[in-house]
Every structure is written in structure tokens, then in C-alpha cells.
Amino acid sequence: MTKKTGPAGTVVPLKKSKCPNCAKLASAKYLPFCSDRCANLDLGRWLDGEYRIPTDEGPDAFADGDEDA
């Protein structure tokens, strides 16, 4: 068995993080964002396709119907 070196149940506070949109302190309810507004702004960016992984394929890579279903 291992020997415990500290009191059981010691709580270590988490590092305060900042909202990726506005740099305010993040709220526990909306992590990693500070508010519902910032969370929805980020969701809108995802849905609009602003966050993409760059590839060498063009936008018509599967337009010829050869894609695997």
C-alpha cells in the first residue's frame, strides 16, 4: 500500500481561465466562456464554417459521386 502524505479531501483551486472571445474571466456555468452570449457567438462561428481544418482537396472533391457511403 502507499502512504498518504497529506490530509484527505484537500481541495486545490483551479486556475482561473479567460473567455476565448472577450478575455473576461470564465464562468463555471459556461466554461470555457464567460457568458451565454460568448458561447453562442462561438457556436455560430462553428455553424458558419469559420473553424476549418485546411486540406489540399478542393470544395468539389466529392462532387462526381464517387464518395463512399
Q: What angle do CA 52, 46, 50 make, to 5 degrees?
A: 45
Q: If pLDDT is split at 50, 70 and 90, which confidence band does 57 have?
A: confident
Q: Has this prediction a pTM greater than 0.85?
A: no
Identify the residue whose cell numbers are 474571466.
25
Identify the residue whose cell numbers are 466554461.
31
Nearest to 30 by CA among 15, 49, 47, 43: 43
Q: If pLDDT is split at 50, 70 and 90, which confidence band does 67 have?
A: low
